Amino acid sequence: MAAHQGCSCGMKRHLLWLRADLRSIDNSALHEACLDPSALVAAVWFITPEQWRRHDKAGVQLDLELRTLQKLSATLASLNIPLLIRTVPDFAAIPQHLLALCQAEAVDAVFWNRQYEWNERVRDKAASALLEQHGIARHAFHDQCLVKPGDVLTGDGCFYSVFTPFKKNWLQQIHRHGVEVLPAPAARPVAWTHADAVPDSVSGFVSHVAPERAAALWPAGEEAALARLEDFVEHHIRRYRDLRDIPSLTDATSRLSPYLAIGAISPRQCWQAALNEIQAYGPSADIDQWISELGWREFYKHILVGFPRVNKHLPFRMDTVNLRWNDDEAAFQRWCEGKTGFPIVDAAMRQLRETGWMHNRMRMVTAMFLTKDLFVDWRWGERFFMQHLVDGDLAANNGGWQWSASTGNDAAPYFRIFNPRLQSEKFDPEGVFIRRFVPELAGLDRKRIHEPHGKQRDFLLDYPLPMVDHRAACEFTVAQFKKLGELPVGRADNKADSFNV
């Protein structure tokens, strides 16, 4: 532990380094930074444009973060915790900048909540080492998961690669240790410095969703996130299992993913709300299912830590590096634009482009279409999603893409390929979702809308013919996967790496 430098007034100065935890309630690092009632506390948030470009950060997500920070800054100011904003090119520049800030302001200790992505962990290790060299205390907390990565292990001490046993162990640990939601901290006696203005935008990051639409769809701040959670638990959670796969129903799922991704709400708050509902009105399979989805979120975060190669554009299943994906830029472009000629795929891709979000089943349908019908590399799709999702999150996005591409852990078997028409008929039987996002098909009846016939497309509608023959495409893809069996298998370690989590 470092020696405290102290300031002239004798009060300790604590710095909260905010990252993907943009909230005042149930924020472990903020809570700990404020435990000493006399400590003066400030917060800092780094703008890192070059790093974000490398990470394919979506403008629509940054827009939500900036609007959330503006609200958080006001909340923190009311507690005498000024929020500082600093711009550096990338993560590599942060340690020096953080040190300079601590030295200039006589900071005694820096507090942060851990992130589990590889580059973020490298950054934190470097920052921690530099601060330590200069005698500044560091306090890092596990705050992103209900159970931290490294605590849910198989009997052999390995990370799980299959979800069901992971979930069983994960739930046991939650029940054993309990979940505590931390209150917002008490106000500080005074603010030691002035807050910076939070910018409305960052050069080079334009949201592809119109500002008014983004603000209406994704209202900013922890209050908005909590209101959404409360509304979902009160009115919708008990029909979750029946309705969660219907993309036309906007309230059937919580739409909390953007808020969980930037940390405007915590998984503990979600868990607690679900538990309160069970305690008040009894258990329900729907609530269990929703909790299970929170489990998938954590499963993929644990995978990032246990299998670091998935952070580095490598597949989980190493034998699949031998797949020779189809580098068809033109086909990829049609998929991106929602012009494949498959109505359900096109509606979903246009939902992403218009709203910055896509329904979970539609993510599976579109990802499987790209990787199995077009046999285009899952990493192309993963990247496009990150560039457009308001909830972009490396762990969940990578996990979802590798599930769909059959390159991941506990993934869809390569021979079980979604048929877009059948998915459409099953989950959008009346064509409500398709009509909403593909207006050129709005006049078709409930039977034809899933697969307009050729003449309708050519003469009546400005809508393309299907870009592939689904059955032939599936045969080709299955054959590619079958060939893998004849090639040498790549490395597939199942041990935690040497990082101390």
192 is catalytic: no
Residue 196 CB, nearest approach to ligand FAD (Å): 29
The residue (of 52 and 300) whose beta carbon lies closer to ligand FAD is 300
Q: Exactly one of 401, 403, 409, 451 is catalytic; which is it?
A: 401
How many helices and strands, by DSSP H and E, does the chain display?
21, 5
- At residue 83's C-alpha, the angle toward residues 78 and 89, to 5°, is 165
The residue (of 84 and 396) whose beta carbon lies closer to ligand FAD is 396
- Tell whether the torsion through CA atoms of 279, 280, 286 and 289 is positive or negative: negative
Distance from C-alpha of 233 to C-alpha of 101, rounded to nearest angstrom: 42
Binding mask 337-376 for ligand FAD (x = CB under 6 A): -----------------------x--xx--x---------
Residue 413 CB, nearest approach to ligand FAD (Å): 15
360 is catalytic: yes
Among 16, 99, 389, 434, binds ligand FAD (CB under 6 A): 389
Site for ligand FAD in 241-300 (CB under 6 A): 244, 253-257, 260-261, 293-294, 296-297, 300
Among 185, 343, 392, 420, binds ligand FAD (CB under 6 A): 392
Nearest residue to ligand FAD, by Cβ distance, number only: 400
Close Cβ partners of 280 (under 8 Å, ≥ 6 residues apart):
none
C-beta separation of 364 from 327 below 8 A:
no
156: phi then psi, degrees, rounded to nearest 5: -90, 5
Site for ligand FAD in 98-157 (CB under 6 A): none
Q: Exactly one of 80, 326, 360, 494 is catalytic; which is it?
A: 360
How many CA atoms within 13 Å lie on the side-chain side of 431?
19
For tokens 């638990």, what's the residue? 233
The residue (of 247 and 308) whose beta carbon lies closer to ligand FAD is 247
The residue (of 85 and 261) whose beta carbon lies closer to ligand FAD is 261
Site for ligand FAD in 401-420 (CB under 6 A): 401, 404
Distance from C-alpha of 148 to C-alpha of 282, rounded to nearest angstrom: 28
The residue (of 83 and 362) whose beta carbon lies closer to ligand FAD is 362
Closest CA to 342 of 315, 369, 364: 369
- Give the type of residue at 212: E
Number of residues binding to ligand FAD, judged by CB under 6 A: 28
- Tell whether the torsion through CA atoms of 115, 120, 122 and 123 is positive or negative: negative
Residue 270 CB, nearest approach to ligand FAD (Å): 7
401 is catalytic: yes
Distance from C-alpha of 320 to C-alpha of 485, rounded to nearest angstrom: 10
378 is catalytic: yes
425 is catalytic: no
For tokens 């490396």, what's the residue? 394
Residue 351 CB, nearest approach to ligand FAD (Å): 11
The residue (of 161 and 254) whose beta carbon lies closer to ligand FAD is 254
Site for ligand FAD in 225-244 (CB under 6 A): 244
Among 141, 385, 414, 437, binds ligand FAD (CB under 6 A): 385
Distance from C-alpha of 140 to C-alpha of 116, rounded to nearest angstrom: 12
How many CA atoms within 13 Å lie on the side-chain side of 119?
15
293 is catalytic: yes
Biggest CA-to-CA distance, the chain: 82
| Three-state DSSP state, 83 | strand
The residue (of 75 and 387) whose beta carbon lies closer to ligand FAD is 387
**DSSP conformation class of 163:** H
Q: Exactly one of 293, 354, 425, 440 is catalytic; which is it?
A: 293
- At residue 141's C-alpha, the angle toward residues 135 and 146, to 5°, is 175
Binding-site ranges for ligand FAD (CB under 6 A): 244, 253-257, 260-261, 293-294, 296-297, 300, 360, 363-364, 367, 385, 389, 391-393, 396-397, 399-401, 404
Catalytic residues: 293, 296, 325, 360, 378, 401
